Amino acid sequence: MKTTLFSKNRDEKNYELFFESDELHRVQYLLETKQFTGLSALQSVENEDTGIKLELSLAERGKLVTAQLFEYIMSAYEAVSPIMTFRNKEAVALSGAVTLDE
């Protein structure tokens, strides 16, 4: 399931994508190696209270993206990755991969 949130800053869009727990390393790998189209190929889940969550914040019309992974542990999501920042072509590629089905 994908959730889109709008921040007070109208130039920023926030996304939450949810995946099964066993996809954690695959999602990390896809982000670290900048293979963003692989994210849209992964099966996302509907249940927001399990598995992993990928939070994305798109700013500057998609030319700046921050991403962070969280894992659901003991009734709350806890960060399992540092905040990753992507700019320009990488940011456009990542934002395109997660907004294709809007």
Note the Cα 96 to chain centre separation in Å: 12
Length of the chain: 102
User: How high is the mean pLDDT in each 10-residue block of the chain (102 residues)?
Assistant: 47 86 94 91 78 90 89 92 94 81 48
pLDDT at 100: 44
pLDDT at 6: 43
What's this model's pTM, rounded to 2 decimal places? 0.80
Note the Cα 26 to chain centre separation in Å: 13
Single out the residue of 43, 40, 38, 36 nearest to residue 94, CA to CA. 36
Torsion of CA 86, 60, 52, 96, to 10 degrees: -80
Please report, for residues 8, 13, 35, 52, 61, the alpha-carbon distance to residue 25 in angstroms, rounded to integers and kept in the order given. Answer: 32, 25, 13, 10, 29
Local structure of residue 96 (DSSP, 8 states) = H
